[in-house]
Amino acid sequence: MAELSPEITEQLISIVGDPKRVLLNEADRYSYSFDASFGIHLPDVVVQPLSTKEVSEIMKLANQYRIPVCPRGQGTSLSGGPLPVKGGIVLDFARWNQTLEIDVEDMVAIVSPGVLTADIHKAANEWGMMYPPDPSSSSVSTIGGNLAENAGGPRGLKYGVTKDYVIGLEVVTPEGEIIRTGGRTVKNVTGYDLTKLIVGSEGTLGVITEAILRIVPKPQATKTMMAIFDDLVDSGRAISKILTSGIVPAKMEIMDQASVIAVEEYEPLGLPTDIEAILLIELDGHPIAISYEMQKVQQVCKEVGARETKVAQTDHEANELWKARKLVSPAIVRIKPTKISEDATVPRSKIPDMFKRLKEIREKYQVDLVVFGHAGDGNLHPNIIADKRDKEEMLRVEQAVGEIFEAAVELGGTLSGEHGIGTMKAPFMEMELGKAGIDMMTRIKKSWDPNNILNPGKIFPEPGQKLVLHHE
Ligand SMILES: Cc1cc2nc3c(=O)[nH]c(=O)nc-3n(C[C@H](O)[C@H](O)[C@H](O)COP(=O)(O)OP(=O)(O)OC[C@H]3O[C@@H](n4cnc5c(N)ncnc54)[C@H](O)[C@@H]3O)c2cc1C
């Protein structure tokens, strides 16, 4: 990479026309050197674009001088996605949140990249509509980041994930060209589906500057239930039986015993701690239909051996039931300060097997491992709680993480259901895709980004790259 000379900095300032949107001092740049995962990498400069033209000109300049460019939303990535691992420019989109337009007739939302996902939820709700993708980070993550990571959430079980709601994009290529993919129509088969290629490409193929998202009518009512199981395998059987009975819950989340204990120690909610699993199930739709379906769900849970089921009678009670799930993350970081949050995903029939493998890994490496997540779609969140200052412990964590990925892939699953590969999972890519699979993706990357300037060091493993979480 060329040194970031004063001339290049001057050109960046002249492109955006405002020196306050080009951050050069170390304290400012430091805020962009980390995300919600691991590692600290200081960018040479941070630029805060507010238009597609600015992004296009920045990309042309960066491409000419071979300067790495890392797009960034709110930096909540759990896989190292926005980290400037090769230095260069961080493109901060958090300030570009001006466009949030709801078109009820076409049932779409048009958004600029820095809009918070929760604001899209709010705007759609005001029209009696819903934007279904609901990552738990909705109120702190941008739609640009969600699109680049193909974010999912609890509602993914019934409604799908981000990619299922994107029908058009405006994208700036690494060479600075501006392209539009898809549009406002639900159907569009003109040429290759570049929209779907960009979604989930983790900021390595193009910079998203606008998106057209599908929205749907908001369901009339919701109902929530908690089912408590003495045996984890029974909870797995309940999940399969509910889904094959023709009922598709909007959400179906699982918490293992370690998560429940952590929550009870953090904020006692009166949950039993001598159990193996808790399922939280939400149904949505017509009030009469969901009342009937809820009775069936309760019946199935009891038939397969649930110790207890509890249906919330009011919105307040429903919120209380969901509170337990929401408290898992803050509760576990009280145990130890470092959280390694994985999202290995398996076919849903393999959830009990995956739980068994995770238990073996916990015992083999003596790590604090808690498991919760989106049970209905097999997307578990094994979280290891550790202290990154303890080198010996972090070495055990590294081995445990490697084995979690092996277990997921051996069970027919995947390294990542929603958090992306970034830097953290790159060393394991070959395990899932094989050499030929990675090679095909490398060729796609090269055709979009011949000089490898856009978010380099992500997704593709470097020769001999290993997961390193410990400090020497
Ligand atoms: C507490 C917590 C809970 C979470 N829960 C979930 C969850 O339920 N589901 C889930 O899927 N994830 C979850 N995440 C992970 C994270 O929030 C998501 O990956 C989110 O989509 C990242 O958005 P962001 O704005 O923070 O993007 P960043 O972290 O800043 O960037 C993420 C990636 O997007 C790229 N990018 C950002 N903007 C653009 C753009 N305009 N054009 C091109 N590329 C771009 C970046 O280069 C990077 O590769 C969670 C994270 C935390 C901390």
With beta carbons less than 8 A apart as the criterion, state whether 104 and 41 touch. no
For residue 420, the CA-to-ligand 1 centroid distance in Å is 9
With beta carbons less than 8 A apart as the criterion, state whether 353 and 239 touch. no
Give the pocket of ligand 1 (CB within 6 Å): 35-36, 70-78, 81-82, 93, 113, 135-137, 141-142, 144-146, 148-149, 151-153, 202-203, 207-208, 329, 418-419, 455
Residue-level pLDDT at 1 = 55
Residue-level pLDDT at 283 = 98
Q: Is 255 helix (H, G, I), strand (E, B) or coil?
A: strand
Q: Which mutation among 149, 169, 415 tests ligand 1's pocket best, with the greatest number of atoms within 8 A of CB?
A: 149
Residue-level pLDDT at 2 = 52
Share of the chain above pLDDT 70, in %: 99
86-120 residue pLDDT tens? 999 999 999 999 999 999 999 999 999 999 999 99
Q: Is 179 helix (H, G, I), strand (E, B) or coil?
A: strand
Task: Determine which residue's CA is closest to atom 7 belonging to ligand 1.
Answer: 135
Residue-level pLDDT at 233 = 87
pLDDT, mean over the chain: 96
**Rounded to whole angstroms, how far apart are CA atoms 451 and 66?**
7
147-196 residue pLDDT tens? 999 999 999 999 999 999 999 999 999 999 999 999 999 999 999 999 99
Rounded to a whole number of angstroms, the CA Rg of the chain reads 23
Atom in ligand 1 nearest the alpha carbon of residue 76? 26
The one-letter amino acid code at 317 reads: E
pLDDT category, 349, cuts 50, 70, 90? confident
Task: Determine which residue's CA is closest to atom 9 belonging to ligand 1.
Answer: 135
Q: What's the pTM?
A: 0.96
Atom in ligand 1 nearest the alpha carbon of residue 142? 25
Atom in ligand 1 nearest the alpha carbon of residue 152? 11
Task: Determine which residue's CA is closest to atom 49 belonging to ligand 1.
Answer: 81
For residue 388, the CA-to-ligand 1 centroid distance in Å is 23
